[in-house]
Structure 1
Amino acid sequence: MATKQKATSEETEQSKKSDKRASVKRVIELTMRLLNGEKITYNRWLVIAGKTTKQANGKDRTFWRDIADIAAQLSETGYAKQLLRPDRDPNVPANEKIYQLVSTPDAAKLTQVIALAHIVLASRALNKTEMAQLVHVLQDTLALNEQEQFKLAIAGDQGSYVTSPRRPPLLDYLRQITEAIARQQRLVFAYRNAEGTPKKHEAQPETFFFDNYYFYVVMRLTPDADVLMFRLDRITAIDQVKPGMAPQQQFRLREYRQQTYLLAVGEPIVFRFKCWIAAQTALERFPGSTARVDPKTGVVVITAQAREKGALMWLLSQGADVQVIAPPSLIKKIKAHHLAAVERYN
């Protein structure tokens, strides 16, 4: 009799351990599904629970216990999301009410995400489909009650989004190029230049960046070659991936930006000009530039660097509000352009 009772007790204990393991496994599965964005209803829970338990009774109590355990752990660990429980809507059956994880409301984050969305939309970098996808990714980082505020805040900007009608999909190319950079691989790709002429290239991407409405990919034909710039939207196909090598020198994006923020044409030059417009305006146009006041005339003199063609275009656009004083070669070109303009009107 004692032996039978002992066996029964051991079976009961074993059953409790089995039930506990099944309960832990079920809650972990529910949590993972919620983290992956799945929406859980009581009916859905019944399907999941059926994988780990055969109990016919008490499922309602187990469901509420599972939900309470998940909510408590999210709160105790300070996780950035919370379990959203459904409203008490009598028109929705209890077994169809949705439970899901949503971001915790954060006013500062909402403002930051709205700002990011406006910057992204102003870039005109992607076609409308990919831009909508990117905006949706930003929206999904917010709590549900913040998402409506987000949509209202960017509605005008998104509704007036303008980009080239021929802009191809770019995000998949960005993924492939990112992987090639990380693995130091070479790419064989088809490229269509500004004149529309197609050509095959083989080069190794080193980095990529965004500037003036376009993504640019920095590549080298060989590890010791000078860098070449390719516009991502002109790549029409990536045909092959090959092993590559580390470049012998690194491309310096900061230096490039200081020289090409206007137009990436011409040789880098250092130049000086007198400035009768707001000095800060000129300084912002030429990152890394410096300003001093001529003690004799009180006029601001700015020293800057850029690629010659881009600098020339900006300086000409300022008319009589700037006067180039060095180098002589740039002064000569400025004079020639202004004289040619006067001649046009004569």
Structure 2
Amino acid sequence: MTSQERIIQLLFRLLDGESINFRAEARDYGCSERTMTRDQAVIADALVHETEFEMGYKPKTRQHYLDREDQISQAEALALIKLVIGTRALSRAEMQRLTHHLLNMLSLKTQKAVKKTIATTMAAYIPVGDDHKILPQLAKFSDYIIEKQAIKFSYQSSVPQNTHPKFQVGRPLSLYFADYYFYVVMYLEASNKSVVFRLDRFDQVKSLNRQLTVPADKKTDEGALRHKTYLLNGGYELHYRFQYWGYPQTALDKLPKSEVTHRHDDGSVTIEGDLFSQGALLWVLGQGSLIKVLAPQTLINDVQATLQKTLAYYD
């Protein structure tokens, strides 16, 4: 190994967060302690005009290390890590790697403070699903979107009547995250419509190495779609009107673009907005006796039928 190769290797080890006793490394590198001390001086000199890094020294262990200025604030790092932990969307390994990358953007002092704050949460981290890796899939679909690629895929549906995957052809249009999962807005060639799929449920995926043109009216607005989605985006789009006896802001936070249109004398409010029918039904059923559907009649019928079916289980 040449001196240049040795110095580069030592520098990379320091950049990776390792603390090095240069004299103790002499035996492993097959050179004298004086040579290793000279290597340390070369690295230190190279960092003199480097504002991001500075070399530190631990007298007790005679180790040198690289410290850096915070690239993001302690609060920003903590917020990002806590947010990602809260989503539970990544596998444990992906969560740990992402946290490591964020911590590397901080000084050693700040890293220590953040690690102490997140230690308990990290130890108790449980991802949704079966701890599968989602980042490779995310990267792959991101490339499909950028390159406007048509893909052939099979998909594990959550609908009981459609549990067997079948191959379809489509083009991924956009990605978004909501309620623990990443979603793909996909234009389907055969049905000439855009549909939302959950990213982790794609089974076999193959690029067809061709671009697929999407009609302008089928390019779904991701933002508008999210405003009309609560957990499920199936069924038909509807304009709802609820009478709600809970804390109004709780409903408004869960139902984007909703608004209070009337306040009643008993403390309840009327809330209106737009949702897909499956998500609307799911949210209403989760509110128990705090809600009454005023419109549309189709949703009222769905709620009544579901409640009657549920009550029948207890006969």
Is 1:120 the equivalent of 2:120?
Answer: no
Structure 2 residues without counterparts, runs of 5 or longer: 27-33
CA contact (8 A) 2:22 2:40 kept: no
Corresponding letter in the other structure for 1:83 = E
Which of 106, 111, 118 does residue 142 from structure 1 map onto? 106
Of 78, 81, 85, the match for 2:56? 85
Partner of 1:86: helix, strand, or coil? strand
1:328 is matched with 297
Q: 1:285 aligns with which of 254, 258, 265?
A: 254
Name 2:136's counterpart in structure 1.
172
Conservation of the 8 A alpha-carbon contact between 1:273 and 1:303: yes
1:343 Cα offset (Å): 6.4
Alpha-carbon shift at residue 287 of structure 1 (Å): 0.8
Residue pair 1:31, 1:70 contacting (<8 A) in 2 also: no
Q: Aligned residues: percent identity?
A: 27
Other-structure match for 1:74: 50
1:269 and 2:235 aligned: no
**Pair 1:324–1:65, CA change in 2 (3 A):** same
* Residue 156 of structure 2 is aligned to residue 192 of structure 1: yes
Contact in 2 for aligned 1:187/1:203 (Cα 8 Å): yes
Give SS of 1:74's match. coil
Q: Which residue of 2 aligns with 1:103?
A: 68
Count, aligned residues: 301
The structure with the largest helix share of the pair is 1
Q: Does 1:205 align with 2:169?
A: no
Residue 124 to residue 65, structure 1, CA distance change in 2 (3 Å): closer
Change (3 A) 1:205 1:284: same
Counterpart of 2:207 in structure 1 is: 240
The aligned amino acid for 2:80 is: L
Name the structure 1 match of 2:278: 309
Check the 8 A contact 1:268/1:307 in 2, yes or no: yes
- Give the distance between the partners of 1:321 and 1:275, measured in 2 at CA: 6
Query: C-alpha deviations, 1:100-132, integer Å up to 9, x for none?
Result: 3x33147x7122212211221222212222222
Q: How far apart are 1:306 and its partner, in Å?
A: 1.0
Q: Which residue of 2 aligns with 1:15?
A: none
Following superposition, the deviation at residue 200 of structure 1 comes to 3.0
Q: Distance in 1 between matches of 2:100 and 2:230?
A: 30
Structure 2: which amino acid aligns with 1:247? V
Change (3 A) 1:67 1:35: closer
Mapped pair 1:260 → 2:229: yes
Task: Give 1:63 shift.
Answer: 6.0
TM superposition shift of 1:30:
9.8
CA distance in 2, matches of 1:142, 1:59: 31
The aligned counterpart of 1:159 is 123
Q: For residue 11 of structure 1, what is the aligned residue in structure 2? A: none
The match for 1:132 is: 96
TM-score normalized by the length of structure 2: 0.77
Structure 1 vs Structure 2 CA RMSD: 3.9
Q: Which amino acid aligns with 1:315?
A: V
In structure 1, the residue corresponding to 2:167 is in which secondary structure? Answer: strand
Post-superposition offset of 1:318: 2.4
The answer as to whether partners of 1:187 and 1:239 remain within 8 angstroms in 2 is yes
Listed as ranges, the gaps of 5+ residues in structure 1 are 1-24, 46-57, 76-80
User: Measured at CA, do residues 273 and 131 of structure 1 come closer, stay the same or move farther in structure 2, by a change above 3 Å?
Assistant: same
Deviations 1:126-185 (A, max 9, x none): 222222222222222221222222222112222112235634322222222111211111
Over alpha carbons, which structure has the higher Rg? Answer: 1
- Aligned equivalents of 2:128, 2:37: Cα separation in 1: 57
Counterpart contact for 2:185–2:197, Cα < 8 Å: yes
Distance apart, 1:67 and its partner CA: 4.8
- Look up the match of 1:53: none
Aligned AA for 1:134? L
User: Aligned pair in 2 of structure 1 residues 187, 98: CA closer, same or farther (>3 Å)?
Assistant: farther
Q: Are 2:246 and 2:268, in contact at CA under 8 Å, matched by a contact in 1?
A: no
Could you say if the C-alpha distance between residues 190 and 271 of structure 1 is closer, same or farther in structure 2, counting changes exceeding 3 Å?
closer
Give the direction of change, closer, same or farther, for the CA distance of 1:297–1:99 in structure 2 (3 Å limit).
closer
- Assess if the C-alpha contact under 8 Å between 2:242 and 2:293 holds in 1: yes
Kindly state the Cα deviation for residue 270 of structure 1 after the two structures are TM-superposed: 0.7
Q: Is the Cα–Cα contact under 8 Å of residues 223 and 247 in structure 1 kept in the other structure?
A: no
Q: Given that residues 183 and 196 in structure 2 are in contact (C-alpha distance below 8 angstroms), is that contact kept between their aligned partners in structure 1?
A: yes
